């Protein structure tokens, strides 16, 4: 007894021309948007780091200055 699936033609859903085509423009646009977002996030991180470093430098300058109540300074009498 022979199997019955040999007698049926290939279903239309398996043909290449019936399959959905890829939307390359959409994929490319999504990739570009992801790159832009990543680049912007990196720029913001660098900016925050730069601001934090500049704040640290300013704090060091103020720490190095002598206090007004420092006893090593001479009092003009």
Write the DSSP symbol of residue 23.
Answer: -
Distances (CA, A) of 11 to 15, 17, 27, 67: 8, 12, 30, 89
pLDDT for residue 50 is more than 70: yes
pLDDT for residue 10 is more than 70: no
Main-chain phi, psi angles of 34, to 5 degrees:
-65, -40
Predicted TM-score of the model (pTM): 0.46
pLDDT at 40: 98
Mean pLDDT for the stretch of residues 37-48: 97
**Mean pLDDT across the chain, nearest whole number?**
76
Per-residue pLDDT reduced to its tens digit, 52-63: 888 877 666 666
Question: Helix H segments across the chain?
Answer: 24-64
Cα gap 32→22, rounded to integer Å: 17
């Amino acid at each position: 007894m022979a199997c019955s699936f040999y007698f049926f033609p290939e279903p239309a859903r398996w043909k290449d021309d019936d399959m959905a085509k890829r939307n390359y423009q959409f994929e490319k646009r999504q990739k570009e948007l992801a790159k832009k977002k990543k680049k912007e996030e990196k720029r913001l991180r660098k900016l925050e780091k730069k601001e934090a470093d500049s704040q640290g430098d300013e704090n060091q300058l103020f720490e190095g200055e002598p206090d007004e109540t420092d006893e090593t300074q001479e009092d003009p009498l």
